[in-house]
Amino acid sequence: MDNTTTDFGFKKVPLGDKAKLVNNVFSSVANKYDVMNDLMSLGIHRLWKKIAIQHCAIRPGQTVLDLAGGTGDLTLAFVDELNGNGKVVLADINEAMLQAGKNKLINKGQILNINYLQLNAECLPFADNSFDCIAIGFGLRNVTNKQLALQEMYRVLKPGARVVILEFSKPAYKQLSTIYDLYSFKVLPLLGKIVANDADSYRYLAESIRMHPDQEQLKTMMQTAGFENCDYQNLTGGICAIHKGFKL
């Protein structure tokens, strides 16, 4: 097994280079990220996130980590759920994405109960047992060492707390998979070129989805990290899936 390289889309790159390459992708797309999300998914990503929020079961008074939170869609929902009583940490490794999220939340009048942190999911700067919930939406597949990131999430969760992972996954039906591949590798880069002037970054995003662990593999990884009662729910035929696990 080669421990010196890792996947960057369909390419193999030196292990230490992936974070920088991913950072370049998201720095490039940050300003058009929300617009492209709506275009790419025909708005369905909003429903996926709404379902993920329901799985988080946030209550007032809790402390929540929105990991790889980017432009802050989940954070915005968490603030509403907390109703002025609690705290959300919006964290992302990419400065441009984090700034875009901060700007959006301030523009929507959300200036309280949110901390913004630039960090690496593989090395979380928090004490053990710090959070009542961790959510990571469409970010895990971009992490170099996913297993280490899962272990870190487990460490900083409080006993009885949960992690909710919203991520693209493997379609459950062959015909859907064929259509999805055609869309991902033909239409998506074209949209990226037209809207964001960046076909390569959206080609990488499509490739990164294919290289991400499938539903059962990710469930096993979560169990290996220590999570219990792990389960997942397929959305839109498995194009997307919500994984949930608990620190008991």
Sign of CA dihedral 190, 237, 208, 91: positive
Does residue 81 have a pLDDT over 80? yes
Rounded-to-integer distance, Cα 155 and Cα 92, Å: 18
| Structure tokens given for 226 | 């220590």
* Banded model confidence at residue 2, pLDDT cuts 50, 70, 90: low
Does residue 4 have a pLDDT over 60? yes
Task: Supply the pLDDT for residue 108.
Answer: 86
Domain 5-246 has CATH 3.40.50.720: no
Angle between helices 95-107 and 33-41 (to 10 degrees): 90
Q: Which residue has the higher pLDDT, 82 or 110?
A: 82
Does residue 1 have a pLDDT over 60? no
Q: What is the pLDDT of residues 220-248, one digit of tens each?
A: 999 999 999 999 999 999 999 999 999 99
| Structure tokens given for 65 | 């980590």
Q: Are 117 and 146 in contact (CB under 8 A)?
A: no
Q: What is the CA radius of gyration of the chain?
A: 17
Q: Kindly provide the b/e burial profile for residues 138-169, where b requires at least 16 CB atoms within 10 angstroms of the residue's own CB.
A: bbbbbbbbbeebbbbbbbbbeeebbbbbbbbb
Return mean pLDDT, the chain: 95
Average pLDDT over residues 32-52: 95
Task: Supply the pLDDT for residue 3.
Answer: 77
**Strand segments (E) across the chain:** 5-8, 11-14, 63-67, 87-92, 114-118, 131-137, 157-168, 228-235, 240-246
Q: What is the pLDDT of residues 90-122, one digit of tens each?
A: 999 999 999 999 999 998 887 778 999 999 999
How many Å from the N-terminal Cα to the C-terminal Cα in the chain?
Answer: 33
Average pLDDT over residues 73-100: 95
Give the count of beta carbons closer than 10 Å to the beta carbon of residue 194. Answer: 10
Of all residues in the chain, the percent with pLDDT exceeding 70 is: 99
Q: Where are the domains of the chain?
A: 5-246
